[in-house]
Amino acid sequence: MKNVSLTRRSFLTATAVTGVAAAFTTSSSGMTAALAYSPVPANAGKIERIRSSCRGCGKMECGVWVTVKDGRAIKIEGDESCFTSRGNCCTKSMSSLQACYHPDRLKYPMKRTRPKGEDPGWVRISWAEALKTSRRKLQEVQAKYGNESVFSMCGTSRVYSMAPYNAIGQLLKTPNQVVGLQICKGPRWLSGQLTNTFAGSWMSTVDRPKVYVQWAGSSEISNYDDSCRTTVDAYSEAKHYINVNPRLSNAGTQADIWLPLRPGTDAALALSWMDVMIRHKLYDELFCKRWTNGPFLYCHDIQPSGFECQNKMLKFELKTRLLKESDIKHGGDPKKFMVWDKLANRLTYFSAETGLWEGEKFKRPTKGTHVQGGFLPEPSKFDPKIDPALFGEFPVKLKDGRSVKVTPVFQLLANRAAEYTPVKAEKVTGVPAAKIELAAKTWATRIDPRYPNGGIQYMLGTEQAGNSTQNTRALSVLVAINGAYDTPAGNRGPTMGAVDASPGNFCPSLPSPSFEKVVGGEKFPLLKWWQWWADCASVWDAVHTGKPYPLKAAICESGNFFSHGNTTEAWEGLKKLEFFLDIDLWHHPTSEMADIILPACHWLEVDAPRQSQGGSGGMGATCKCVEPLAEAKYDVEFVDLLFKEFGEEFLPRGGPFPHTVEGMLDFCVAGTKMNWKTYKAKFQKDGWYDVKKFFPDEWGTYRRYETGHLRQPPAFFLLPGDGKPGFSTPTMKTEIWSTILETFVPGQNMELPIFLEPPQGPVSTPNLMKEYPLTMITGRRIPVYFHSEHRQLPWCRELWPVPKMEIHPETAAKLGLKQGDWAWIESPFGKVRQTVDIYVGIAPNVINAEHSWWFPEMPAPEHGFKYSAINQLVNPHAQDPICGSSHLRGYPVKVYKAKEGAPEGIIASSQDKRLKKWKPVHEGRA
Amino acid sequence: MQLAIVTDLNRCVGCLACSVACKMENNVEIGSHYNRVLRIGPNLKHAGAKFPDVEMYFLPVQCQHCKTPACIKVCPTGASHKTADGTVLVDRDKCIGCKLCIKACPYGVRFLNEETKVVEKCTMCAQLVAQKKEPQCVSGCSGRARFFGDLDDPNSVPSKKLKAAGEHAYNLPDEGNHPSFKYILKKATWRGGKTDFEKS
């Protein structure tokens, strides 16, 4: 478009809308009389409106309309047919127009000619050469050091670029993958699977909770979890809005109850809510008795034992002290878990084989009501009639003759929760006891007796304080005992739709690698069970030390090295790799460390199936709007070519799908019984699919644990299950007592939810806090950025040119800091500069810094990341003891004025003329 | 007739979509904005309060399409004019870039386009309104916090919102220009008593 102000006179030629003269019915105003309108030119051009799904962030799946004029995308707006995001279209989405056409986008495969750590001296090569060299180098490395010496890296965002989560490891036969999942969503998915279902953490905000609890996140800044529109609707429509966050957040300003807790103390707060619910009998008693292992009996005096289980590729022996028939009777069934029936005053059992109680026959519930477009079955009752005890202590005779006492798990939970009564929790969290109690009661006291007021939308902040597994687990259990798992607006887990919305991710024709040798598996044994990531810190240790074995090469897709772990370790580690292949859209510190970089397509340039990853229940598509830039390729095509280069096919040979990219998309939508072409056309015409309607018996039904539609292998789409009632856990129950943690992390008191102090902080490391007295949180949502993305987009950068550190005015005054000053933030591991933002919405001893900053305008290879990338301050070995996730938020730092001022040469203002160099360039494509 | 936008500040979460939507629709030059979102606060709720007794709101500010605009009074060429539907526009063929209007505007919402040498500001997306559509900052508002229509019509959506808001309806400081745009704010104290908007 011409660079002029749009006046009434010029708009006609710019938008080329026909027949517009007729629209001027307001001409009685006389305004048209004064102006002469040009007729619409004959060559006005072809305008299309293409329905698509945005990728400006990491998987919200906002439906959008893209206006394309003469093959050029000129406008992006929300698509209201996308009921999950309700027509939301954020700054990042609109700025995709500047990203797609950015002059700095990678156009061709390139190889480096200069050593790592300097400007790479990229020269153009062909795709064929890039793939051939990559295969040769990777095979050399694997021949010399073993298959596991190659690792993959993956971040987030392009949902069709997730091959490192499975396919790369399948192809190269290595379990070593450093993936953003470890510090984002992964702990939630993990504790979901430990508690009830894989990724059971997702809440169905679309179902409009009556009490909206927003915990440790800002979904109003459209990102993961939910869109702004859905969030604003949720808090506006709810009867009560409760916000849990150490700082005053954008939507948090509207909360009825705000709980500003000490960073990292979420599990203590969750246990406190459990205590309130237990003491006031607000928990869902029937659910707890019938569907959790709350009534199962813990016996201290036996050796842990169990039965064979399987998770993904791993077969293992479950070992638990929960009382089983095999503990009280020789030859007894280890899958029969004993409970105490208060009615008959005797032991009875639940079978983790059939999913049924002693004498019970499975009757799929048919009675219920319709809520929010789904069927809500009435809770089933015990038949035969029993009343499993949740509290107390009972005498039992073991098979060896010993008489012992056993305790229901729920009693143990109540005892644990009682360590965090509101008064006690106030000492830990800093939140006043009365407020804790009010919040818990408000959430847990049902407004509609049929179902709870809503689940809890717990987000990223719970995963990054170095105690992620138990923080998130406490929340899964809290939701469960309220009966809010798989109820309307409850936590329903991932949308079980018909579509695999991550093409190129999981390869159906190759086996998955064993995680027996995964790096970090010795320190974090659960990773061998979980099979989703290698420990990031351990990976960089292995790169640096060669222990437990050398890591020498890597492939990265959609990732950066500074969202996760210690940035300096990663940067120095990348320098040491013998070969590193990256596919990206940008020259970025990560890609500047590659040996070969490949140009990736932008979402406006590709087709991809889309489906709500969370509990929103939508199926849709990203539909190609414009031709790709130069030689940029779709990530899925990259995976296909990589597989073929190695002599493999992504799709099964002799199978029904052609061995093409379109075949891979056909494979992904096969569950809809359509091929990609038909699926896409229908979507284009009719809009987003409602999975509740598509699968009425599965996603369209709540309480699927009652109906036998919940159990299935871990996935983000519907797979055939065994049809048995209950959950996918080893006991088939919601596990308040985790038998998996009992098996893999024994003797560490991890079986029940537990509050663990963050590894660094006022209680864990008081001495450290003498020199580093402030607690720093970081990683919050920023309206115009998504992690390290969008720093080079003018519409984004001009609104937010530099990183801002929120600091309380009293603290700032003591440090001599004024609004806009540059200040150093320092930990024992590094220091960075960010600007001062005086913010009374944060506690005086807490600061909030921004994450993943780099400055694209600064020279290669560093692009200024060392100035401000906050994870240079991370203690690489301060980690969650179970899953290894880094302590990224809520650790000790010190702050002082930067006499140097701003880092030299950065764009620090919207008036910087260099922003104009980043204007869209439309040439270079078909 | 007075077209205007009423913003419900309890639904505005400072997502900045309105700022960018405007840039996209109106091709506003890099470094300039028709619509900017200010963060008001956080502030202590009252004197003597301390964290966490704090409050904050976001305030999208653009041309207020005033009833008696200060800009029109000073414009020497008649480029700045108010149309019959209440929109204040700049006729770029008449504008000589003298910048008197920029100085006169109490809200600092006008700027000189350095390339065309013509003053620009929010046009209330007249090109969209003419097609019976809403301004882009309204349709693009993620919080669905903005309501567009004729404030002289008591049955328009924004008029009804204002009526329901009662005493919670505010406008930017009025220096005799009578801003048409209104803001609804509950639960927090409106801090529009003073003007300290940046004028650059």
DSSP single-letter state for residue A164: G
State the best of A74, A250, A261, A811 to mutate against chain B, taking most chain B CBs within 10 Å.
A250
pLDDT of residue A896: 98
Cα A881 to Cα A143, A197, A465, A469: the distances in Å are 34, 22, 11, 8
pLDDT > 60? residue A4? no
Residue with tokens 């987003």: A688
- Residue keyed to tokens 């770029």: B92
Pairing of strands A257-259, A240-244: parallel
pLDDT over threshold 50, residue A670: yes
- Is A431 an interface residue toward B (CB < 8 Å)? no
Nearest-CA residue of chain B relative to A34? B83
pLDDT at A11: 36
Residues in chain A with CB shorter than 8 Å from the CB of B92 are 4-5, 7
Distance from CA of A799 to the nearest CA of B (A): 9
d(CA A583, CA A596) in angstroms, rounded, equals 8
Q: What is the pLDDT of residue A41?
A: 60
pLDDT band at A44 (very low <50, low <70, confident <90, very high): low
Record: contact B140-A94, CB cut-off 8 A: yes
Q: What is the pLDDT of residue A9?
A: 36
Q: Does A19 touch chain B (CB under 8 A)?
A: no
| Cα-Cα-Cα-Cα dihedral sign, residues A313, A318, A324, A330 | positive
How large is the average pLDDT for residues A64-77? 96
What's residue A43's pLDDT?
61
Does residue A547 contact residue A522 with C-beta atoms inside 8 Å? no
Is the CB of A44 inside 8 Å of chain B's CB atoms? no
Test B27 with A29 for CB contact under 8 angstroms. no
Angstrom distance (rounded) from CA A107 to CA A632: 6
**What pLDDT, on the 0 to 100 scale, is given for residue A58?**
79
Radius of gyration of chain A measured on its C-alpha atoms: 28
Q: Which residue of B has its CA nearest to A840?
A: B42
**Residue A841 and residue B16: Cβ atoms within 8 Å?**
no
Residue of chain A with shortest Cα separation from B49: A840
Confidence class for position A261, pLDDT limits 50, 70, 90:
very high
A475, HSE (Cβ side, Cα atoms, 13 Å)? 34
CB nearest A795 (choices: B20, B54, B116): B20
Using the predicted structure, report yes or no on whether residue A350 has a pLDDT greater than 70.
yes
Find out whether A4 and A10 touch, Cβ atoms under 8 Å: yes
Sole residue written with tokens 């005054």: A813
User: Does A6 sit within 8 Å of B123, measured CB to CB?
Assistant: yes
Strands A150-154 and A553-557 turn out to be parallel
- Provide Rg for chain B, Cα atoms: 17
- The minimum CA-CA distance between A499 and chain B, rounded to whole Å, is 27
- Which pLDDT score, from 0 to 100, does residue A158 have? 83
- Beta-carbon separation of B10 and A1 below 8 A: no
Beta bridge partners of A45: none
Q: Is there a contact between A220 and B15 if contact means CB atoms under 8 Å apart?
A: yes
- Using a CB–CB cutoff of 8 Å, tell me whether A254 touches chain B: yes
A652 preceded by a cis bond (ω within 30 of 0): no
Give B127-157 pLDDT, tens digit per residue: 999 999 999 999 999 999 999 999 999 999 9
**pLDDT tens sequence across A860-878:** 999 999 999 999 999 999 9
* DSSP code at position A813: H
Task: Determine whether the interchain pair B15/A795 forms a contact, defined as Cβ–Cβ distance below 8 Å.
Answer: no
| Chain A residue numbers touching B116 (CB-CB < 8 A) | 3-5
The shortest C-alpha distance from B102 to chain A (Å) reads 16
Beta-bridged to residue B90, according to DSSP, are B80
Read off the pLDDT of each residue in A146-151 and give the average, rounded to a whole number.
98
List CB contacts (< 8 A) between B188 and chain A: 253
Residue A798 with chain B: CB contacts under 8 Å: 30-31
Q: Are B30 and A840 a contacting pair at CB < 8 A?
A: no
Q: Which of residues 80-139 of A touch B (CB under 8 A)?
A: 88-91, 94-95, 97
Residue B49, beta-bridge partner list? none
Domains, chain B, ordered by start:
3-67+128-196 (3.30.70.20)
Pull the structure tokens for residue A354.
């059939």
Among A residues 207-226, those touching chain B with beta carbons less than 8 Å apart: 220-222
Backbone φ, ψ for residue A467 (5° rounding)? -140, 40
Average pLDDT, chain A: 94
The set of residues, in sequence order, having a beta carbon less than 8 Å from that of A656 and lying 6+ positions away, is none
Whole-model pTM over 0.80: yes
Q: Which of A30, A77, A794 sits opposite B139 (nearest CB)?
A: A77
Q: Are A4 and B16 inside 8 Å of each other by CB?
A: no
Facing B27 at nearest CB: one of A3, A91, A248: A3
Q: By 3-state DSSP, what share of chain A in percent is helix, strand and coil, each rounded to 5? A: 30, 20, 50
Q: Which residue of A has its CA nearest to B81?
A: A31
The pLDDT value given to residue A40: 55
Of residues A756, A920, A777, the one with CA closest to residue A845? A777
Comparison of pLDDT for A44 and B162, the residue scoring more? B162
Paired tokens of A231: 């969030």
Please answer whether residues A64 and A222 qualify as being in contact, where contact means their C-beta atoms are separated by less than 8 angstroms.
Answer: no
A436-442's contacts with Cβ under 8 Å and 24+ in sequence apart are A436/A259, A436/A269, A436/A272, A436/A273, A436/A276, A437/A276, A438/A257, A439/A242, A439/A257, A439/A259, A439/A273, A440/A272, A440/A273, A440/A276, A440/A277, A440/A282, A441/A276, A441/A280, A441/A282, A442/A211, A442/A240, A442/A242, A442/A256, A442/A257
Would the CB atoms of B140 and A260 count as touching at under 8 Å? no
Looking at residue A46, its pLDDT comes to 87
List, for residues A623-651, the tens digit of each pLDDT value: 999 999 999 999 999 999 999 999 999 99
Q: Which of residues 339-358 of A touch B (CB under 8 A)?
A: none
Residue pairs between chains A and B whose CB atoms are closer than 8 Å: 171
Residue B52: cis peptide before it, omega within 30 degrees of 0: yes
Q: What is the residue-level pLDDT of chain B in tens, covering all 200 positions?
A: 999 999 999 999 999 999 999 999 999 999 999 999 999 999 999 999 999 999 999 999 999 999 999 999 999 999 999 999 999 999 999 999 999 999 999 999 999 999 999 999 999 999 999 999 999 999 999 999 999 999 999 999 999 999 999 999 999 999 999 999 999 999 999 998 654 433 32
CA B101 – CA B111 distance, rounded (Å): 9
For tokens 């108010």, name the residue.
B82
**Is the Cβ pair A90, B92 closer than 8 Å?**
no
Min Cα distance B134 → chain A (Å) is 13
With CA atoms as reference, the chain A residue closest to B10 would be A254
Q: Each residue of A99-135: pLDDT tens digit?
A: 999 999 999 999 999 999 999 999 999 999 999 999 9
- How remote is the C-alpha of A179 from its chain's centroid? 11
What pLDDT score was predicted for residue A5?
40
How close, in Å, is residue A57 to chain B by CA atoms?
14
Which residue, A840, A248, A428, is CA-closest to B51?
Answer: A840
Contact A228 B143 (CB under 8 A): yes
CA distance B83 to chain A (A): 7
Record: contact A220-B143, CB cut-off 8 A: yes
Q: Do A26 and B143 touch (CB under 8 A)?
A: no
What CA–CA distances, in Å, run from A140 to A29, A145, A176, A579? 77, 9, 17, 10
Q: Can you tell me which residue has the tokens 């510190």?
A: A589
Give the amino acid at A781: R
| Long-range Cβ contacts of B189-197 (<8 Å, 24+ apart) | B189/B43, B189/B45, B189/B55, B191/B40, B191/B41, B191/B43, B195/B106, B195/B107, B197/B38, B197/B61, B197/B106, B197/B107, B197/B108
Instruction: Mutation target for A interface from B32, B39, B51: give the one with most A CBs within 10 A.
Output: B51
Distances from the Cα of A112 to the Cα of A191, A588, A598, angstroms: 42, 14, 12
Residues of A with a catalytic annotation lie at: 92
What percent of chain A shows pLDDT beyond 70? 95
Instruction: Reduce the secondary structure of A904-915 to three states and give it as a string.
Output: CCCCCCCCCHHH
Task: Encode pLDDT of A162-178 as tens digits.
Answer: 999 999 999 999 999 99
- Chain B residues touching A229 at Cβ < 8 A: 142-144
Both structure tokens of A74: 């000129």
Read off the DSSP letter of residue A494: S
The token pair that represents A253 in the structure block:
């300003």
pLDDT for position A61: 84
B10 interaction partners in chain A (CB closer than 8 Å): 236, 254
A926 CB burial (10 A radius; 0-12, 13-18, 19+): exposed
B135 in Cβ contact with B158 (< 8 Å):
no
Rounded to the nearest angstrom, the minimum Cα separation between A278 and chain B is 28
* pLDDT higher at A27 or A225: A225
C-beta atoms of B188 and A919 within 8 A = no
Nearest to B27 among A6, A31, A233 (CB): A6
- Helices and strands (DSSP H and E) totals, chain B: 6, 10
CB A480 within 8 A of CB A734: yes
